[in-house]
Chain A
Amino acid sequence: MSSEVVRRPRPKGAGAAPFRSLMWRFPWLRPLLLLAPPMAWFVFVYLASLVLLLISAFWSIDPFTTQVVQVWNTNNFQTILSDPTYRTIIGRTAGLAGLVTITDVVLAFPLAFFMAKVASRRVQSLLFAAVLLPLWASYLARVYAWILILNHSGVLNWSLQSIGLPSANIGYTNTAMWLVFSYIWLPFMIIPTYAALERVPDSLLEAAADLGARRWRSTLDVLLPLALPGVVAGSIFTFSLTLGDYITPILVGGAGSQFIGNVVYNNVGIANNIPFAAALATVPVVIMAVYLLVAQRLGAFEAL
């Protein structure tokens, strides 16, 4: 390129002429360059680790040396499917994740509705701050707070006794885990539900009322279907976060409170049985894949 060309005044992209002409000649080059770094990340870091996980799940360890033996077999999956302990643990994990999600939907919907449709601007921002406030504190601190509430001589039993009720023995049980999970993940349900509800035009509700629909009828037939994608989006958070957790079961769970994550952790950290941990780790991946498929059908991704 001659110097004359370079000196020619150009409002934008000075000096990029060869590059630009290249772009013009190969129109696919621009998106390729733009997408190459994230795609490389996605393929090499994100997908490759999943593939490695899947591959090592089909290996096993030598019981004598605990060394990984790279011989293909499905023993790990057979153990998971045949041993009732693992079925119980998978059932407990998925069951509690579902229960926590339902609890959070029930708790979040009225609050999100109030925030989106009823509250004044001022109250709305106050509520927003209140919902997000727990997220400022560490996850661990919030779980420990619940231990202090639920243990034998904790706040709960102290309160019950002071009003003459028998003490509740729910510290270190699955009930405690349900309470703590529902509390911890609640903001992740409220926010998407609120966003979805706010997008529902008031005029639709007014139109329903004009046509003679009562409050519950318009909520059921107008508001709920329109807000559903938001609720499902929130449920992806509450469900997947509960499904993958292993700290709360350690801290507030009792005997018989293991989650999939705990068994994975023990197999990697204690037993050095990485193939089995990998095999078990594919279970939540499968559960989430099914869950996301259903969520997608319900239009959750349009609400995200």
Chain B
Amino acid sequence: MGSTASGPGSWARWGCFAAAATIALTACGSSNTPSGSTLTQPPTAKTAPQTSIGAGEGQLNLVLWDGYADKSWVDPFTAATGCKVNQHPAGSSDEMVSLMKDGGGGNWDMVSASGDADLRLIYSGDVKPMNTALIPDWTNFQPLFQAPSFNTINGVHYGISLQWGPNTLLYSTKKFVNPPTSWSVIYDPANKGLVTVPDNPIQIADAALYLSKTKPSLGIKDPYELTKPQFDAAVALLKAQQPLIKKYWALATDEISLFQNGDVTVGAAWPYQTIQLKLAGAAVNDTIPTEGATGWADTWMLATKATHPNCAYLWTKWVSTPKVQAMQALSFGETPVNTKACAEMEALQAGSCAQYHADAPGSYFDTIKFWKTPIAQCADGTNTCIPYADWVSAWTTIKG
């Protein structure tokens, strides 16, 4: 998922949306639609992935989100494979993309890229196709994450999905004795000065998602594909919200301290913040409101110039196993893509499988709208949708 507590400038990660649009054009299809035949071929599309995993090279250099290679599952991996893991935590998707320039330059083997960076990496030829047949657990993945449009193009897999999470509604249980069930609380003037939302143009999609349920007359089907009237309505909603906002948070830690210090009582968040706040003893809880939520999804991708490909495959195989998926999910606060991880999560922490929706049926994913680049081309092929550059300038006018 996104940058964590330690990530400086996590909002910079959104930059990738724009760049992805630059190169992807038609490729940023809806995550629900299967890859069509009209998509542009990425530069490495013809690179045949290896068909077997040889002996490990003894080293593995990873660019990742902080916490994605915890000692508790890296040590057993190194012991079993002899691959020593060198980590380089990145603060933003932008940083990931720049580190992976020139196919990783021979320095980096893999990157745990988020959906917003994926297409940029793929279309600049920095990552190459991976062979899902070498990852036995791949068949146990949620069907949506076996070939999502953000990492699979024309049926070619440019990485192996890892974990995902929703953008949740976080609230103080002191202020909200009755748990809120709707995003309406963050647009309610009654909470003036007590609201925080991410400092992030993609927040317009959250407003659009809310409007798609509360104002059906607008006809919003996909919060990332907005026509001019739909976009204007979402921006107007956010402009009305601005006076209610205490602060637009940039880092996860910002939001944590805002809640801890009592500066805000309700806001949009990731499950990570809820976990950290609860660990610190704060009276908070989170929920996915009835309108649904937006979400992120991360993928392990193989650098085009990876010098330790066997260790890379061994690693991907390892982090896809139910046990490691469960460990990572619970330590970071996200949801595994491997459906078999549910039992392991229960073993580690009773009730966690349902809590993180790791056992969710396919229909659940209709309520989560995974991030993708807003581009001018709508699903119907017309160029009437609002592209990401306009989202960014609108976000400036919203923040004021």
- Residues of chain A touching chain B, judged by Cβ–Cβ distance below 8 Å, are 61, 63-67, 83, 85-86, 88-89, 147, 151-154, 169, 171-172, 250, 253-256, 258, 263, 266-267, 269-273, 276
Contacts and interface: CB of A to CB of B under 8 A. Distances in A.
Nearest to B92: A269
B22 interface: yes
4 shortest interchain CB distances as A-B pairs:
A271-B392, A255-B245, A85-B397, A256-B400
Given A64-B376, A153-B261, A273-B393, A258 B399 contact: yes
Nearest to B383: A64
Contact of B400 (A66, A154, A255, A267): A255
20 contacts: A64-B25, A64-B377, A64-B387, A65-B25, A66-B21, A66-B387, A66-B388, A83-B397, A85-B396, A172-B246, A172-B247, A250-B199, A255-B248, A256-B399, A258-B400, A266-B392, A267-B392, A269-B12, A272-B389, A273-B18
Contacts of A258: 396, 399-400
Q: Is the interface of A mostly helix, strand, loop or mixed?
A: loop
B19 interface: yes
A263 B393 CA distance: 9
**Range class of the B interface residue count:** 35 or more
B262 interface: yes
Contacts of B21: 64-66
Contact of A169 (B11, B94, B193, B400): B193
A159 to B, nearest CB: 15
B364 to A, nearest CB: 30
B19 A66 contact: yes
B180 to A, nearest CB: 21
Contacts of A89: 396, 400
B233 interface: no
Main secondary structure of the interface of B (DSSP, over half): helix
A270 B392 contact: yes
Contact of B15 (A88, A169, A253, A269): A269
Contacts of B262: 152-153
Interface string B88-100: 0000001000000
Contact of B19 (A169, A253, A272, A276): A272
Nearest to B9: A269
B42 interface: no
Given A65-B22, A85-B396, A258-B396, A270 B261 contact: no
B400 A271 contact: no
Given A63-B376, A63-B389, A152 B399 contact: no
A269 B383 CA distance: 25
Interface string B124-168: 000000000000000000000000000000000000000000000
